[in-house]
A = this chain, B = another copy of it.
């Protein structure tokens, strides 16, 4: 194991998984944590199936096209609850603010949190603020933790992928990562790429209330679609194949990625779902998604194959097959 923490440990890729395995799981041993999903399922008193999750946000810049750290902090945690199938209900928020940060910007961030929370019907019920000296933090960091309730009969998990499942992505991929990259680097060319940052609880409800039998639901954030699919392949012990020609990628995103030698499959998304459904339900799911504001560009991008080798294979435009690994290293730090 490395003897210092590197940016790669925060990438969401293989170094993050190593850190979780070698440090956090070593000490925080319990069955709930071990399930390995983005949120924990709890029994509390009479309530079975309460869902609990946490996320810290350190994105830079704090304001970007399509959102800011406040909107992102609400979407991120709401989406982690929603992808368990739960109805998000309550959020906490913890601010760590650098001395000298603008009160006006703080107010814009808090307002964005409030608007986004209202859009998805969650209440921000408890909070905390710490201020650190100039130079001891970079502007503002926000933690949100969330509680939701899982309606009866829902069993969605990264462990449920089955041979024959179709894999749907709810829209274009790589928008958030490309947006942050462009905001951060002055690259001397014009591209209007907005972050896809959006709360997906409504989209999930539409699928579930529409009667779709969802096996797996994840939001491919840090590490992108390729990394999230690898995690699912490992959890379910299955081979996943995706088709390059089916991947919805905006022309501008494709352009930026080609220029910089990056792959949209590894770029972060903050308003997209990966959905695994039985083959026979794929068209129904697609129809429901496309009727929804955040699902207009939904596409079937691949399927779960027969065989128990946990890997992700890309069928390239050229026809060849390529193994897509977990993100290694750190493609872009502080993406969320």
Using a CB–CB cutoff of 8 Å, the interface residues on chain A facing chain B are 1-11, 16, 19-20, 23-24, 26-28, 30, 32-33, 39-40, 42, 44-47, 49-50, 52-58, 60, 89-90, 92-104, 106-107, 110-111, 113-114, 117, 123-133, 135-138, 141, 143, 145, 147, 149, 333-334
Contacts and interface: CB of A to CB of B under 8 A. Distances in A.
A256 B100 CA distance: 30
A207 B49 CA distance: 31
Q: What is the total number of copies of this protein in its complex?
A: 2
Nearest to A95: B56
20 contacts: A5-B106, A6-B100, A10-B129, A24-B127, A30-B123, A32-B125, A40-B90, A40-B126, A44-B90, A52-B126, A54-B126, A55-B94, A56-B96, A58-B96, A58-B136, A94-B94, A94-B143, A96-B141, A128-B143, A147-B147
A295 to B, nearest CB: 26
B145 A111 contact: no
A26 B101 CA distance: 19
Contacts of A19: 129
A128 B56 contact: yes
Given A130-B56, A333-B132, A104 B3 contact: yes
Contacts of A100: 4-6
Contacts of A143: 54, 56, 94, 128, 143, 145
Contacts of A137: 58, 136-138, 141
Nearest to A89: B44
B58 A132 contact: yes
Given A3-B103, A54-B143, A104-B3, A27 B132 contact: no
A180 B9 CA distance: 30
Contacts of A1: 103
Contacts of A135: 135, 138
Nearest to A94: B56
A55 B107 CA distance: 20
Contact of A58 (B11, B53, B117, B130): B130
Contacts of A45: 46-47, 49-50, 149
Contacts of A131: 5-11, 333
Given A19-B129, A44-B47, A5 B54 contact: no
A114 B26 CA distance: 10
A135 to B, nearest CB: 7
